[in-house]
């Protein structure tokens, strides 16, 4: 599903955020990406989302070198990846329902079908009863779950998450991770960046450790 | 993306039949055959039309939400449109006047004083034989005197004269009002025996023409300048609204919105601004017309003429509205395109 081949990423010519990264993630795998802040977790995810191109090497997703994508193809590529952000990136001027339906609106899904899928996604994260609420009325954990619903409403083959439990207490964090495991169980490839070692160590999935932009450990590979 | 119903085992060979994340086939896999393509294309068209409708409505609602500020923007557009439009209307009425002047562009051939009326009639026939002549009218000396007295407004001032000092004259309406042709005609008429002098006074007609041509150019230049003004007004307004919705734009671009999708609501806002400005401009024009019509009518009457200010007819109004809407759309397009390049999802 994902292959990094000798990937390096420099910013501003000197600072090397990632160097000589080599790893593969198989379809249907669930992988944690860990390391101190600044170790390159976010940069790695940004490369997969094609927000940036690698300075060296190739990033191959679903068999395609994504650096080769034409700018006009990038939006269509991104539609196939669900992303959960640490700061949710919800829009506060519209309801939970309309936040979750955003990816479907972008794709021009017919409204009745769209509503059905939005409710299914909200049901999955346990927020069906809050569909009319504004994001500001929700707790941090609920906002994060809206973000997850938006990421999966499109049934993406690949789900990325950047510190999805960053600001949550342990119980809520465990709930959120449980949600990701559910999606993984139905075949979605999941990649989660997190520095919460205590939490992810207990989940028995593959863990890729980064330090200063280098891969230092790859444990429990399937 | 539809998920395959049966989950394939990991590493199962060719996945090319349904590449879930195959970027080269952005609009879902095409391998299902041409028959399946047809409804999909039509449904994509429907989705596109649906989004256009939704954005047209959404941008209108956003305008209505802040009525005062947006009304001021539209008023600025309207004022920029009114000036060239009013000038254009004025020129249009000048052209109408010009057409009447064409009719009154005539030559007058004064006959020698010794020529008697029967002889004058013969000369008139000779004149109308010239192919450059469209029509003639013989004005006898008596008629000429009567006209002259009438135009002086004093009935009997000249009745003390023993003899009528005026000759018979022939008013000639030429086929063409081209100055050179008229000059040549005048020379030919002058050569006819019995014709004393041929008068043609075209200078003022010419001057009026030049003035109208100048006015047309001024109107055009003003139109272009004020059109640019409309672009700037709309562009600046849209720039601010892009800025205020920057976060939203970043988010939708993160989850796969195309530039066209992002641009659409702003283009509609621009078009609405232009349309609203056009409607206000029409209102201002008709208000101005109403306000000026009385003094203009009074002025025209004092010259013994009937003249009313021109109004924009249906075609003119449609053209004005289309132009303003198009200008608004274009201004928005320029503003959004410039800004989209600078907005990158974080």
Residue A206 and residue A101 share a domain:
no
Helices (H), chain B: 34-65, 67-104, 117-128, 141-152, 179-191, 203-244, 246-254, 259-302, 314-340
Q: Mark whether A9 and A73 lie in a shared domain.
A: yes
A86 is a domain residue: no
Are A17 and A75 contained in the same domain?
Answer: yes
Taking only the tens place, the pLDDT of each residue in B105-156 is 778 888 888 888 888 888 888 888 888 888 888 888 888 887 777 777 666 6
- A76 lies in the same domain as A167: yes
Same domain, A127 and A39: no
Q: Which of B7, B11, B15 sits opposite A187 (nearest CB)?
A: B7
pLDDT at position B8: 40
Alpha-carbon torsion angle A59, A189, A79, A143, nearest 10: -120
Using one digit for the tens of pLDDT, what is the confidence trace for A132-148? 999 999 988 899 999 99
Is residue A145 included in any domain, yes or no? yes
| Whether the predicted pLDDT of B18 surpasses 50 | no
Do both A74 and A96 map to the same domain? no
- pLDDT at B342 > cutoff 60: yes
* Cross-chain CB nearest to A78 (options B50, B51, B255): B255
Same domain, A22 and A123: no
CATH code of the region B106-201 = 3.30.70.3040
Cα–Cα dist B55/B61, whole Å = 10
Q: Flag whether A189 is in a domain.
A: yes
Instruction: Give A77 to chain B, closest Cα distance, Å.
Output: 5
Average pLDDT, consecutive stretches of 10 residues, N- to C-terminus, chain A (222 residues): 89 82 92 88 91 90 89 90 88 93 91 93 92 91 92 92 85 89 92 88 88 86 52
Give the β-pairing of A81-84 and A158-162: parallel
Quickly tell me which residue has 């005062």 as its tokens: B68
Q: Which of B15, B31, B77 is nearest to B282 (CA)?
A: B77
* Residue of A105, A110, A114, A150 to mutate, testing the B interface (most B Cβ within 10 Å of its Cβ): A105
Domain boundary among A102, A130, A150: A150
| Minimal Cβ distance to A155: which of B1, B15, B46 | B1
Measured in whole angstroms, the distance separating CA A69 from the mean position of its chain's CA atoms is 20
> Which of A106, A77, A135 lies closest to B28, judged by CA?
A77
Q: Do B19 and A62 make contact, defined as CB atoms within 8 angstroms?
A: yes
Whether residues A107 and B256 touch (CB distance < 8 A) is answered with yes
Residue A176, H or E segment: helix A170-185
Residue where a domain stops, chosen among A108, A134, A150: A150
pTM: 0.72
CA dihedral B158, B144, B104, B209 (to 10 degrees): -40
Q: Report yes or no on A215 lying in a domain.
A: yes
Say yes or no: A67 and A162 in one domain. Answer: yes
Domain final residue pick, A114, A132, A150: A150
> Could you tell me the pLDDT band of residue B14, with boundaries at 50, 70 and 90?
very low
A106 and A71 assigned to the same domain:
no
Distance from B257 to chain A by nearest Cα, in Å?
6
Beta bridge partners of A8: A56
| Least CB–CB distance from B23: residue in A73, A106, A154 | A73
* CB neighbour class for A96 (10 Å; exposed up to 12, middle 13-18, buried from 19): buried
Q: What is the pLDDT of residue B100?
A: 62
Q: What is the ipTM of this complex?
A: 0.87
- Which pLDDT value is given to residue B120? 86
Contact A89 B254 (CB under 8 A): yes
Q: What is the DSSP string of B132-147?
A: TEEEEEEE-HHHHHHH
What's the mean pLDDT when you consider all of chain B? 79
Segments forming the whole domain that contains residue A187:
2-80+156-219
Q: Is there a single domain that holds both residue A160 and residue A139? A: no
Domain boundaries, chain B: 54-100+206-340, 106-201
User: Of A38, A41, A70, which is closest to residue A53 (Cα–Cα)?
Assistant: A70
- In this predicted structure, the answer to whether residue B28 has a pLDDT above a threshold of 50 is no
Residue B32's pLDDT is 41
Pairing of strands B195-199, B169-174: unpaired
pLDDT of the residue at B90: 81
Interface residues of A toward B, Cβ cutoff 8 Å, are: 1, 26-28, 49, 51, 61-64, 66, 69, 72-73, 75-81, 83, 89-91, 93, 102-103, 105-111, 150, 154-158, 186-187
Number of domains in chain A: 2
Q: In which band, very low, low, confident or very high, does the pLDDT at B29 lie, cut at 50, 70 and 90? A: very low
- B21 in contact with chain A, both atoms CB, cutoff 8 A: yes
Q: What is the DSSP string of B229-268?
A: HHHHHHHHHHHHHHHHTHHHHHHHHHTT--HHHHHHHHHH
What's the order of all strands across the beta sheet hosting B107-111?
A: B133-139, B169-174, B107-111, B195-199
Residue A85 lies in a domain: no
Cβ pairs bridging A and B (under 8 Å): 106
- Helix (H, G, I), strand (E, B), or coil: what is residue B194? coil
- What does the pLDDT look like over B145-197, one tens digit per residue? 877 777 776 666 666 666 777 888 888 888 777 777 888 888 888 888 888 88
* Confidence bin at B305 (pLDDT 50/70/90): low
Q: B309 near B285, Cβ under 8 Å?
A: no
């Amino acid at each position: 599903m994902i292959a990094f081949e000798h990937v390096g990423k420099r910013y501003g010519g000197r600072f090397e955020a990632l160097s000589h990264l080599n790893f593969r993630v198989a379809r249907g795998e669930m992988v944690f990406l860990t390391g101190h802040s600044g170790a390159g977790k976010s940069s790695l995810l940004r490369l997969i989302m094609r927000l940036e191109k690698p300075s060296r090497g190739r990033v191959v997703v679903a068999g395609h070198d994504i650096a080769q994508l034409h700018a006009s193809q990038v939006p269509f590529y991104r539609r196939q990846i669900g992303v959960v952000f640490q700061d949710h990136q919800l829009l506060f001027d519209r309801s939970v329902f309309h936040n979750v339906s955003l990816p479907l609106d972008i794709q021009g899904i017919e409204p009745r079908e769209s509503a059905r899928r939005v409710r299914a996604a909200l049901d999955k994260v346990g927020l069906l009863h809050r569909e009319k609420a504004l994001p500001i009325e929700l707790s941090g954990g609920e906002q994060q779950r809206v973000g997850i619903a938006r990421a999966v409403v499109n049934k993406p083959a690949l789900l990325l998450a950047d510190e999805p439990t960053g600001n949550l207490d342990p119980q809520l964090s465990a709930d959120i991770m449980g949600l990701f495991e559910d999606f993984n169980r139905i075949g979605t490839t999941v990649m989660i960046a997190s520095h919460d070692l205590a939490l992810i160590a207990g989940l028995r999935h593959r863990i890729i450790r980064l330090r200063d932009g280098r891969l230092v450990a790859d444990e429990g590979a399937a | 993306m539809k998920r395959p119903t049966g989950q394939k085992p990991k590493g199962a060979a060719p996945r090319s039949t349904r590449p879930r994340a195959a970027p080269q086939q952005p609009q879902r896999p095409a391998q299902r055959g041409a028959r399946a393509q047809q409804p999909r294309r039509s449904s994509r068209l429907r989705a596109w039309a649906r989004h256009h409708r939704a954005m047209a409505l959404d941008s209108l609602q956003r305008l209505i939400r802040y009525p005062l500020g947006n009304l001021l923007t539209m008023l600025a557009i309207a004022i920029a449109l009114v000036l060239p439009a009013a000038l254009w209307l004025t020129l249009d009425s000048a052209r109408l006047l010009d057409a009447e002047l064409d009719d009154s562009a005539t030559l007058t051939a004064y006959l020698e004083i010794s020529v008697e009326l029967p002889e004058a009639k013969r000369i008139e026939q000779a004149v109308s034989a010239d192919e450059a002549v469209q029509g003639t009218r013989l004005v006898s000396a008596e008629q000429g005197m009567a006209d002259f007295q009438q135009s002086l407004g004093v009935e009997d001032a000249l009745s003390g004269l023993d003899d009528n000092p005026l000759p018979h004259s022939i008013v000639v309406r030429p086929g063409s009002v081209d100055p050179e042709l008229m000059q040549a005609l005048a020379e030919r008429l002058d050569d006819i025996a019995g014709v004393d002098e041929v008068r043609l006074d075209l200078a003022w007609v010419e001057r009026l023409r030049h003035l109208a041509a100048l006015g047309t150019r001024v109107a055009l230049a003003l139109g272009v300048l004020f059109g640019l003004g409309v672009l700037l007004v709309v562009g600046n307004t849209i720039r601010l609204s892009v800025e205020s919705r920057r976060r939203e734009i970043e988010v939708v671009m993160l989850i796969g919105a195309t530039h066209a999708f992002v641009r659409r609501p702003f283009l509609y806002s621009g078009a609405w601004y232009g349309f609203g400005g056009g409607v206000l401009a029409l209102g201002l024009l008709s208000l101005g017309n109403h306000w000026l019509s009385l003094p203009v009518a009074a002025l025209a009457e004092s010259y013994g003429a009937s003249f009313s200010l021109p109004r924009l007819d249906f075609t003119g109004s449609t053209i004005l509205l289309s132009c303003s809407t198009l200008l608004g759309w274009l201004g928005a397009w320029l503003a959004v395109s410039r800004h989209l390049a600078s907005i990158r999802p974080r």
